[in-house]
């Protein structure tokens, strides 16, 4: 099936792109196009205008260390994230997530900003990011503003970005020493969307007691969620099999998974428990 007719714009600056978005009531931003183009071909999305960011002269593709945080440009591809040495060493769960997205062709074109703005609750990188307490930087007619991770994802395929704003950067606070992270997903085949995705970050003290835990869950609710009750329970405890069993149970609280061709609601609830325990174990093994 072919997409409906649309106007195509290839602005050469960020300001020009923002101006077009402000003028066109039903416009979509094109980054890597791995989600948007597929939806348009199926006519599940039919924007009147496409604003292609690939000709914008401002560099929106980078991974750089700043004072207190890692900055990732919104046009940075999944492949660049997968092979970044600083991400491999300091934010391992992002490497885990990027390496599990689609196939190599998808990773070559797909971008972290596009994935976040698409806001699919089953997406790998956004799920992993949610365990890192990121800040999203949006640029619009009035300049730039920061959006917390708690406010960015609003609902399925919906973010808090205004119609004339563009996501330009993602900022991730550095983790403390003696921290470890992991992202694991359960899918039918390698590269498929997650049936359940789990991101885990552990901050441990010298006595191997968990100081802080962050657990993010994808594909189990209308948007990506944090397992707050499980996080709270794990803080202040040594991680034993008994503790992990209880964490897995508590991780399911707040989840509202769908039933579909990939698995029933009940199956997904069971898998939350299984894969939360696995992600925590893997994160614990990476603490250093």
Q: Where are the domains of the chain?
A: 7-52, 63-173, 179-285
Give this prediction's pTM.
0.94
**Sequence-ordered list of residues with C-beta below 8 angstroms from that of 280, at least 6 positions apart, any chain:** 182, 200, 202, 213, 215, 234, 239, 244, 247
Residue 1, pLDDT above cutoff 90: no
Neighbours of 2 (CB within 10 A): 7
Q: What's the pLDDT at 75? A: 97
Q: What's the pLDDT at 2? A: 84
CATH number of 179-285: 3.30.390.50
102: closest CA among 114, 90, 84, 88? Answer: 114
pLDDT digits (tens, 9 = 90+) for 159-194: 999 999 999 999 999 999 999 999 999 998 887 889
Q: What's the pLDDT at 136? A: 98
What is the 3 state secondary structure string of 215-269?
Answer: EEEECCCCCCEECHHHHHHHCCCECCHHHHHHHHHHHCCCCCCCCECCECHHHHH
Q: What's the pLDDT at 20? A: 96
E-strand spans in 16-105?
27-30, 49-52, 63-65, 69-73
With vertex at residue 113, the alpha carbon angle to CA 107 and CA 117, rounded to the nearest 5 degrees, is 115
Q: What's the pLDDT at 192? A: 84
63-173: what fold?
A: 3.30.465
199: closest CA among 97, 110, 122, 273? Answer: 97
The two tokens of residue 187 are: 């899918």
Q: What's the pLDDT at 184? A: 97
Q: What's the pLDDT at 204? A: 97
Residue 98, pLDDT above cutoff 80: yes
Q: What's the pLDDT at 115? A: 96
User: In angstroms, how far apart are the furthest CA atoms of the chain?
Assistant: 62
Q: What's the pLDDT at 129? A: 98
* Mean of per-residue pLDDT scores for the chain: 95
Report, as an integer, the average pLDDT of 233-252: 97
pLDDT digits (tens, 9 = 90+) for 111-161: 999 999 999 999 999 999 999 999 999 999 999 999 999 999 999 999 999
C-alpha to C-alpha distance for 81 and 142, rounded to whole angstroms: 30
7-52: what fold?
A: 3.30.43
């Amino acid at each position: 099936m072919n997409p409906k007719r649309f106007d195509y714009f290839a602005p050469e600056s960020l300001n020009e792109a923002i101006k077009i978005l402000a003028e066109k009531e039903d416009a979509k931003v094109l980054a890597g196009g791995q989600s948007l183009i597929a939806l348009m071909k199926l006519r599940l999305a039919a924007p009147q205008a496409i604003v292609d960011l690939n000709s914008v002269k401002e560099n929106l593709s980078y991974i750089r260390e700043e004072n207190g945080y890692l900055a990732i440009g919104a046009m940075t591809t999944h492949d660049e994230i997968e092979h970044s040495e600083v991400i491999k060493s300091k934010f391992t769960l992002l490497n885990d997530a990027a390496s599990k997205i689609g196939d190599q062709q998808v990773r070559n074109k797909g971008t972290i900003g596009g994935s976040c703005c698409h806001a699919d609750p089953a997406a790998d990188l956004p799920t992993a990011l949610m365990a890192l307490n990121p800040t999203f930087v949006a640029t619009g007619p009035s300049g730039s503003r920061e959006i917390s991770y708690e406010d960015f994802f609003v609902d399925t395929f919906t973010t808090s970005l205004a119609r004339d704003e563009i996501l330009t950067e993602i900022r991730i606070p550095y983790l403390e020493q003696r921290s470890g992270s992991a992202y694991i997903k359960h899918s039918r085949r390698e590269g498929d969307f997650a049936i359940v995705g789990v991101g885990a970050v552990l901050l441990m003290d010298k006595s191997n007691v968990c100081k802080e835990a962050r657990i993010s869950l994808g594909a189990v609710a209308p948007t990506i969620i944090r397992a707050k009750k499980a996080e709270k329970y794990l803080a202040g405890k040594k991680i034993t099999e008994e503790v992990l069993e209880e964490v897995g149970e508590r991780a399911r609280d707040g989840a509202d998974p769908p039933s579909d061709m990939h698995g029933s609601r009940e199956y997904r609830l069971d898998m939350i428990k299984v894969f939360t325990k696995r992600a925590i174990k893997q994160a614990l093994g990476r603490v250093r």
